[in-house]
Amino acid sequence: MAIVTRVPLGFPTTTTTRPSSSSYGQCHKHSSLSIIVPEFSTTSRIYFAASSSPFPQKRGFRGVRAVSAVMSDLARSTVLVTGAGGRTGQIVYGKLKERSEQYVARGLVRTEESKGKIGGADDIFVADIRDASTLVPAIQGVDALVILTSAVPKMKPGFDPTKGGRPEFCFDDGAYPEQVDWIGQKNQIDAAKAAGVKQIVLVGSMGGKTPNHPLNSLGNGNILVWKRKAEQYLADSGVPYTIIRAGGLQDKEGGVRELLVGKDDELLQTETRTISRADVAEVCIQALQFEEAKFKAFDLASKLEGVGTPTKDFKGLFSQITTRF
């Protein structure tokens, strides 16, 4: 009389033997990450194999967790924020860190002092955007780049506001708009393109279509002229881009105003030509999530708080934009 072995429901009813080592490599090629279950044992052990090895490796449930971690990393986008030590840059970097389920944040600053001010983490790189070679370590493996670098005018010493008149401004040697906003941003765009970055978000300023704009006279730097030249270079680069020309930046709470988009400095002729840094930061991050934001350039401002409805539909906001430059 034959002996019948009772087999638990869901398990194979035939005897399963593990293939000999010589049989591996003669089957289908493994994908970059595959799961092999050559047998069910009484301990329900699971065998995993990666493409680097043709033999299954026993890892148990720790292997499951390891695979889950790898898949989680693959699902997130690595985003580099340059100018991360600035007031707007710090907000963008902080928002990315808060959304760690979506993004792996990196920051780039100019000095070790700036790195220390924003926590000094290993994901903060120190580089000189005027020297293209220093950008390479920070840009490798990056999916998206958010450019927030800008030349910063300084008030000339000796100004006494009690005597009336207007203060005079200057730029530090080597830190004029031509060197920072043109050469520095061009270097970032070139480095990103060479590294295969999939999208660049560039934050500029409204006023680029107004030749006599007061910002151009600060320190005789023509800052908006050089910013506009960098924007054009990005638009011509072939890399998917989003160019945000922000209005007057304010250190106010974000998410409580209705945002406005425009073109060619039209918003400068209205009462709504300012925007909070927090709202600019949020638009930068939202631009990474929607195809409607790619290959777009626009002016950005907001209504006064309490007027209109706070913007929540960013896909709809980007869909309003028709200008590529």
Whichever domain contains 290, its CATH number is 3.40.50.720
Residue 99 lies in a domain: yes
Determine the pLDDT at residue 70.
Answer: 45
CA nearest 317: which of 304, 54, 289, 196? 289
Full domain range(s) for residue 154: 80-320
Report the sign of the C-alpha dihedral through residues 11, 14, 20, 25, in that order. negative
Contact 280, 88 (CB under 8 A): yes
Number of domains in the chain: 1
Residue 27 lies in a domain: no
For the chain, the straight-line distance linking the first and the last C-alpha, in angstroms and rounded, comes to 85
Residue 33 has pLDDT above 80, yes or no: no
Catalytic residue list contains 205: yes
Cα dihedral: 217, 221, 222, 225 (round 10): -160
Residue 91 has pLDDT above 80, yes or no: yes
Chain segment 106-158, per-residue pLDDT in tens = 999 999 999 999 999 999 999 999 999 999 999 999 999 999 999 999 988 87
DSSP E strand boundaries for 17-96: 33-36, 47-50, 57-58, 77-82
Residue 64 lies in a domain: no
pTM equals 0.77
Alpha carbon 45 to its chain's center: 41
Choice between 66 and 91, residue whose per-residue pLDDT is larger: 91
Contact 245, 297 (CB under 8 A): yes
Residue 42 lies in a domain: no
Contact 146, 79 (CB under 8 A): yes
Residue 253 has pLDDT above 80, yes or no: yes
Residue 244 lies in a domain: yes
Residue 189 lies in a domain: yes
Determine the pLDDT at residue 165.
Answer: 76
Residue 13 has pLDDT above 90, yes or no: no
Chain segment 155-169, per-residue pLDDT in tens = 888 777 777 778 889
Bridge-based pairing state of the strands 241-246 and 296-302: parallel
The rounded distance, in Å, linking the Cα atoms of 148 and 277 is 11
Determine the pLDDT at residue 191.
Answer: 98
Residue 116 lies in a domain: yes
| Catalytic member of 205, 217, 302, 319 | 205
Residue 15 lies in a domain: no
Residue 320 has pLDDT above 70, yes or no: yes
DSSP E strand boundaries for the chain: 33-36, 47-50, 57-58, 77-82, 103-109, 124-126, 144-147, 154-155, 169-170, 199-205, 241-246, 248-250, 259-262, 274-276, 296-302
